[in-house]
Amino acid sequence: MVDDHNEMDEFEDLFEKGGARAQKRFEPGERITATVIHVGEKHAMLDVGGGRDGLMDMAGLHDKDGRAMLRVGDKVDGYVLRVAHRIVEVTRSLGKGFVNASMLEEARQSGLPVDGVVSGVNKGGYEIAIAGTQGFCPLGQMDPRRIEDPKTLIGQKLQFRVMDMRGHDVILSRKALLEQQAAEKAAETRKRLRVGERFTGTVVNVRDFGAFVDIGGIEGMVPASELAYGRNRPQDIVHPGDEVQVEVMDIGPGKDGRIERISLSMRALAQDPFEQVAPHLTPGTVLKGLVRKVEPFGAFVELVPGVEGLIHVSAFGKRIGKPADIVAPGEDAYVRVDAADPAARRISLAWLSPAELDAKVDFVAPGKDFPNALRFVGHVKAAEPAPVVSAEREAAAPTVPRQKPAVVAPSVGQVVAVVVDRVEAFGVFVKWETGRGLVPNVELELPLGADARRSFPIGTEFQAVVQEVRPDGKVRLSKKGAQDVAQRADAEAWMRTQAPLPGGSVGVGSFGELLMAKLQQKPKK
């Protein structure tokens, strides 16, 4: 008791030193925010504004080691319990110690919340114990949202508003208190609500398309694509009750015309994983990734969440019908980094079969600064060095200069022996010793309706004449033209066997006439 008197005397001295100030009128049940100006053993002195000082009971405001959880300068929210002797008594709720009917009636009239413990559940609602008094909260008044399993609340200490007093029955509502608190928070939140503003929020619900987050009396939605980098289910990233940092992306009118449709992003505040790993994606690095998507042109492989590279259909190391014949979504894949373009956010990969790893990869440890998120395997083995030859052996050995065979571009009119390499609907691709070209269908002398695949299967050999050599190196040839060249050569050879006419001429007729004469010449018996 002596300690209590000393503490109260101390507070009175502080009140007196505060001097006379213009005083505001406070009403019981009024919600206020006060500033802590002194902390005692059992009470805290508050500046409640309006020229008034306040007192708050420190019961329940100590940690497990007995240390006060309030500090001078802290802001505290509470309710006016009563005003006596110029001092505003502030409480966080009613329900500590003993509570009688008159105190509950005062709480009903003033709106002062009361503390209660959920002691049971029946068909109509919840049984609430309030410091020796029994209360009842209907099922629909426990929370603004539907509670799936009411029994999960048994044993929890919650705050309620007294809605009605019916003799000894006390009717309570937690929903009304939560809605009032949400409205007060929403008013403050709207003062700073703008695109780009950041909030600390609480996840209240998670769906397949995103998560709903309370940012202070107002809910916004984080779409699934804005929860994190990478392709993940929202349920794998956040859970109800999680505290998260979000940034406002968009604000739009709700159904009632109020600013309620708010789009949020968690990803905007996270570090871009591409920037973290891009410097380490050097050509030749071998990694293990997860196949995310397979298309006809290639497969997308996730290296870390939010960073994917493409294995082009041509980078599977062999001719394949389609990438789906080799890999499938959800499978791990060993890949070699061929190129990384940070500006375009593009990574080119090549597929390595498990059988190729031992032959092509040096299994070494990654560097100290290598990101742990990347599943490092090793580096592609360097080319084998040339054998070391002593100076004496090199001097004694005969010098035979190595020369690459000269690649001579064909000239128009040149006849070459070709081999069919590939057959297409428009013609056949052929190759010869020093080149490759195309013989269109019209130059193959195919009968009407004939199939080039049957007439010229791969490996067929024939003579073709070069018709055109383009600047890009592509060559067009003709089988029919080569036959014309051969006939012309036969005719010219025949002409050289004929006796010259006077004047050194072989005749006055045309080349065609001479050819016809040769063809009409009767063979000697």
- Per residue, what are the HEC states of 310-360? EEEHHHCCCCCCCHHHCCCCCCEEEEEEEEEECCCCEEEEEEECHHHHHHH
Homologous superfamily assigned to 415-484: Nucleic acid-binding proteins (2.40.50.140)
Rounded to whole angstroms, the Cα distance separating 399 from 290 reads: 53
Contact 227, 266 (CB under 8 A): yes
Per-residue model confidence (pLDDT) at position 517: 57
Rounded to whole angstroms, the Cα distance separating 144 from 178 reads: 8
Per-residue model confidence (pLDDT) at position 146: 83
Per-residue model confidence (pLDDT) at position 449: 66
Neighbours of 364 (CB within 10 A): 11
Rounded to whole angstroms, the Cα distance separating 205 from 241 reads: 9
Per-residue model confidence (pLDDT) at position 279: 85
Q: For tokens 């003993």, what's the residue?
A: 98
Q: For tokens 């994983």, what's the residue?
A: 273
Per-residue model confidence (pLDDT) at position 172: 92
Contact 71, 40 (CB under 8 A): no
Per-residue model confidence (pLDDT) at position 173: 92
Q: At what angle do helices 511-520 and 479-497 cross, to 10 degrees?
A: 80
C-alpha pair distances (Å), 137 with each of 118, 128, 143, 391 = 9, 7, 10, 100
Residue 151 gets the label, from left (phi > 0), alpha (psi -120 to 50) or beta, of alpha
Is the domain spanning 2-91 CATH 3.40.50.1980? The answer is no
Domain made up of 192-269: CATH architecture? Beta Barrel (2.40)
438-450 pLDDT, tens digit per residue, is 888 888 877 766 7
Homologous superfamily assigned to 101-178: Nucleic acid-binding proteins (2.40.50.140)
What's the whole-model pTM score?
Answer: 0.45
Per-residue model confidence (pLDDT) at position 300: 92
Neighbours of 31 (CB within 10 A): 14
Domain ranges of the chain: 2-91, 101-178, 192-269, 273-380, 415-484
Say which residues have a Cβ less than 8 Å from residue 305's Cβ, sequence separation at least 6: 228, 229, 230, 231, 232, 273, 373
Q: And the tokens for 484? A: 């014309």
Q: And the tokens for 131? A: 């410091």
Q: How far is CA 215 from the centre of its chain?
A: 23
Domain made up of 273-380: CATH architecture? Beta Barrel (2.40)
Q: For tokens 């009903």, what's the residue?
A: 108
Per-residue model confidence (pLDDT) at position 385: 46
Per-residue model confidence (pLDDT) at position 126: 94
Rounded to 10 degrees, the C-alpha dihedral 162/164/168/173 comes to -40
Residues of the chain with pLDDT under 70: 1-23, 29, 60, 95-99, 254-259, 382-409, 448-449, 490-525
- Looking at the DSSP bridge assignments, the partners of residue 54 are 46, 88
Closest among 11, 7, 78, 88 to 51, alpha carbons compared: 88
- Looking at the DSSP bridge assignments, the partners of residue 380 are 361
Q: Does the fold of domain 415-484 match that of domain 273-380? A: yes
